[in-house]
């Protein structure tokens, strides 16, 4: 999830664990703890694109990291507060819960997390978009209100619980909504007699009403959309050729193999202006405009003069976000 959501979740969990004992310090330290796992994004400043992608949501989002880091942070709190208000055991529990909820929430997004690192297992339930106001706002509002109550006030604890309950129930609801969407996509694939190998379903940006499906066939990937507001449940799938043969000898290059593994083999190859791009289909297109062929994550594969391969992520255009929101809102409202 986005940084704001993780900060607010950490604050709310921190308040639930130690708010009664240490007051607003639980919110502050919980907020800080909630964002610690995302420090792995700094790796992009010290390594290449592929390595940074492999590191993202890996070690720092693992149970191993949580177990190791929790007592260390508890020890640090002891150095600061001398364990006057909370014991080492209580601070350890505080950091365990404020840290572990971060990767557990991220596991519900499309990218997922390697929660069981170093095992190469990625949890990605794909039932909530990385930014979803309906999940974040109740937590944020309740945490802000809590700040104005004394730590011993019963209402403080109850208000914080309300925020956590609402957000958690919404997360559970998105799982149910995804199952509804899966059933609609499955019925359409069967009715349209599309022979496919597998398909995945994910939410579109900022909502849980409009869902997208990636469908793999022998030579192409199909992308289709379904809104829970649709009166017409007939889905139109747009085809995108795999073009894997365009890689040529690069298909055996270690960096390309690693990038393909990161995409979980949901990728196409495109050639524009004599440049080769690998597109990660898991996160969809940059808009829902007709004939859109630009993907959210696309990587330029360039060979240098000394025959080295450089992989860089394609930059987004300034207006891409505006275009996404414009078409997104139209499609969420459903097609008649």
Give the mean pLDDT of 310-317.
Answer: 91
pTM: 0.94
Whether the per-residue pLDDT at 336 is higher than 70: the answer is: no
Average pLDDT over residues 154-182: 98
Spatial separation of the C-alpha atoms in residues 95 and 109, rounded to whole Å: 23
Cβ burial of 161 (10 Å; 0-12, 13-18, 19+) is middle
Q: Please report the pLDDT score of residue 290 as a whole number.
A: 74
Confidence band of 316 (pLDDT split at 50, 70, 90): confident
In tens, the pLDDT along 254-301 reads 999 999 999 999 999 999 999 999 999 999 998 887 778 899 999 999
- pLDDT tens, 70-118? 999 999 999 999 999 999 999 999 999 999 999 999 999 999 999 999 9
Q: Tell me how far apart the alpha carbons of residues 145 and 232 are, in angstroms, rounded to a whole number.
A: 43
How far apart CA 107 and CA 253 sit, in angstroms, is: 30
Contact 301, 250 (CB under 8 A): yes
Q: Which pLDDT value is given to residue 125?
A: 98
231-249 average pLDDT score: 95
So what's the pLDDT on residue 191? 97
| Tally of helices (H runs) and strands (E runs) in the chain | 9, 8
Q: What is the mean pLDDT of residues 306-324?
A: 85
Instruction: For tokens 């990218």, name the residue.
Output: 111
Examine residue 118 and say whether the peptide bond preceding it is cis (omega within 30 degrees of 0): yes
pLDDT at 200 over 80: yes
* Average pLDDT over all residues of the chain: 95
pLDDT tens digit sequence for 114-156: 999 999 999 999 999 999 999 999 999 999 999 999 999 999 9
* Long-range contact set of residues 66-72: C-beta below 8 Å, sequence gap at least 24: 66/96, 66/99, 66/100, 66/103, 67/96, 69/36, 69/95, 69/99, 70/95, 70/96, 70/99, 71/95
Q: How confident is the model at residue 196 (pLDDT cuts 50, 70, 90)?
A: very high
Classify 136 as helix, strand or coil.
helix
Instruction: Reply yes or no on whether the pLDDT at 307 is more than 90.
Output: no
- Whether 150 and 170 have beta carbons less than 8 Å apart is answered as no
Is the pLDDT score of 322 beyond 90? no
User: Which residue bears the tokens 């600061």?
Assistant: 80
Does residue 233 surpass a pLDDT of 80?
A: yes
pLDDT at 234: 95
């Amino acid at each position: 999830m986005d940084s704001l959501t993780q900060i607010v979740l950490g604050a709310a969990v921190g308040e639930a664990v130690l708010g009664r004992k240490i007051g607003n310090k639980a919110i502050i330290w919980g907020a800080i703890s909630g964002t610690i796992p995302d420090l792995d994004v700094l790796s992009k400043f010290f390594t290449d694109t592929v390595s940074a992608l492999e590191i993202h949501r890996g070690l720092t989002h693992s149970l191993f990291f949580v177990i190791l880091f929790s007592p260390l942070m508890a020890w640090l709190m002891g150095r600061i507060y001398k364990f006057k208000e909370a014991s080492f055991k209580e601070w350890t529990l505080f950091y365990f819960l404020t840290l572990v909820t971060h990767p557990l929430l991220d596991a519900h997004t499309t990218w997922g997390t390697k929660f069981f690192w170093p095992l190469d297992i990625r949890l990605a339930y794909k039932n909530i978009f990385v930014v979803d106001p309906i999940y974040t706002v109740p937590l944020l509002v309740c945490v802000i209100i809590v700040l104005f109550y004394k730590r011993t006030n019963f209402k403080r604890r109850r208000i914080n619980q309300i925020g956590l309950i609402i957000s958690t129930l919404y997360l559970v609801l998105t799982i149910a909504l995804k199952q509804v969407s899966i059933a609609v996509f499955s019925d359409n694939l069967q009715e349209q007699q599309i022979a496919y190998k597998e398909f995945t379903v994910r939410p579109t940006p900022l909502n849980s009403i409009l869902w997208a499906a990636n469908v793999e066939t022998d030579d192409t990937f199909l992308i289709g959309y379904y809104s829970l507001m649709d009166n017409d449940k007939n889905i139109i799938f747009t085809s995108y050729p795999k073009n894997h043969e365009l890689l040529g000898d690069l298909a055996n290059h270690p960096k390309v193999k690693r990038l393909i593994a990161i995409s979980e083999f949901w990728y196409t190859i495109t050639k524009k202006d004599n440049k080769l791009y690998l597109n990660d289909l898991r996160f969809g297109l940059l808009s829902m405009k007709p004939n859109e062929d630009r993907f959210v994550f696309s990587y330029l594969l360039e060979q240098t003069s000394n025959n080295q391969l450089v992989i860089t992520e394609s930059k987004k255009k300034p207006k891409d976000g505006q275009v996404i929101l414009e078409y997104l809102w139209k499609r969420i409202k459903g097609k008649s």
